[in-house]
Amino acid sequence: MMDREIILRVEDIHKSYGETEVLKGVSFDVRRGETKVFIGPSGTGKSTLLRCINQLTVPDSGRIWLNDEEVTHAGPRINQFRQKIGMVFQNFNLFDHLTAIGNIEVALIRVKGMNKAAAKEKALFELRQVGLSDKADAYPAELSGGQAQRLSIARALAMDPEVILFDEPTSSLDPELTREVLEVMKRLAREGMTMLVVTHEMGFALSVANEILFMEHGRVCEQGSPSEIQTSPLFTRTRQFLGTFQDD
Residues that bind ligand ADP (CB under 6 A): 17, 22, 42-48
By beta-carbon proximity to ligand ADP, the closer residue of 48 and 147 is 48
Cα separation of 156 and 86, whole Å?
A: 5
Shortest distance, CB of residue 21 to ligand ADP, whole angstroms? 9
Cα separation of 78 and 62, whole Å?
A: 16
Decide if 229 contacts 77 (C-beta within 8 A).
Answer: no
Shortest distance, CB of residue 195 to ligand ADP, whole angstroms? 17
By beta-carbon proximity to ligand ADP, the closer residue of 48 and 194 is 48
Instruction: Tell me how far CA of residue 233 lies from CA of 26, 41, 212, 230, in angstroms.
Output: 22, 16, 14, 8
The H or E element containing residue 155 is helix 145-158
Task: Tally Cβ neighbours within 10 Å of residue 115.
Answer: 9
Shortest distance, CB of residue 210 to ligand ADP, whole angstroms? 21
- Taking the CA atoms of 230, 233, 235 and 236 in sequence, report the sign of the dihedral they define: positive
Burial of 22 (0-12, 13-18, 19+ CB in 10 A): buried
Shortest distance, CB of residue 179 to ligand ADP, whole angstroms? 23
By beta-carbon proximity to ligand ADP, the closer residue of 43 and 175 is 43
By beta-carbon proximity to ligand ADP, the closer residue of 44 and 147 is 44
By beta-carbon proximity to ligand ADP, the closer residue of 83 and 172 is 172
Shortest distance, CB of residue 45 to ligand ADP, whole angstroms? 4
